[in-house]
Structure 1
Amino acid sequence: MSWSPDSVPERRLDIRVRSNRGTIQIVNRTLQAVELTGAGALLFRAMDGRRTVGELAGLLVAEFGITAADALTDTTDLVTGLADLTVIDHAGSR
């Protein structure tokens, strides 16, 4: 499933999340791990099942002063990667 600016990512319930000094460590149900810092950590914290990919990208624009196009690309890349690791789903898809 692809991600559009109107897609809403939400965290899966079967992951483990640990936050330590600005870094987020996530372990999925198959024990694959990912570590997020900086922009990735900011976006993951904001994935509440209500914000769209476009709204999440807006957080990057506000926080880092990058262009909206770059922020959307970065956000889409992150949610695609997290979905591939079964860390997030499209909201309402379960």
Structure 2
Amino acid sequence: MDTILTIASIALSVTIILCMARASKGPLAVDRLIAVNVIGTKTIVLIALISFILDETYFIDVILVYAMISFIASLGLSELIQKAGGD
């Protein structure tokens, strides 16, 4: 079971790196915003998987704080994109 979760964690890490490439090269600012949201979501899932693998419950608090920070960052970025002209 741990090997499956480890493989899933590695796969998530690879997709996070691919999303970082999309966030840096995105043709539109909206594409970059969506990539940043996807990175935040995948990071939350990755931390949850690591918490389950290590059998540590305090990572759940980290996940909640990270989710709140990711949401606030998404709001800030969308506001910045809207003020810049939406493109």
TM-score normalised to structure 2 length: 0.38
> Structure with the greater relative contact order (CA < 8 A, sep ≥ 6): 1 or 2?
1
Which structure is higher in strand share? 1
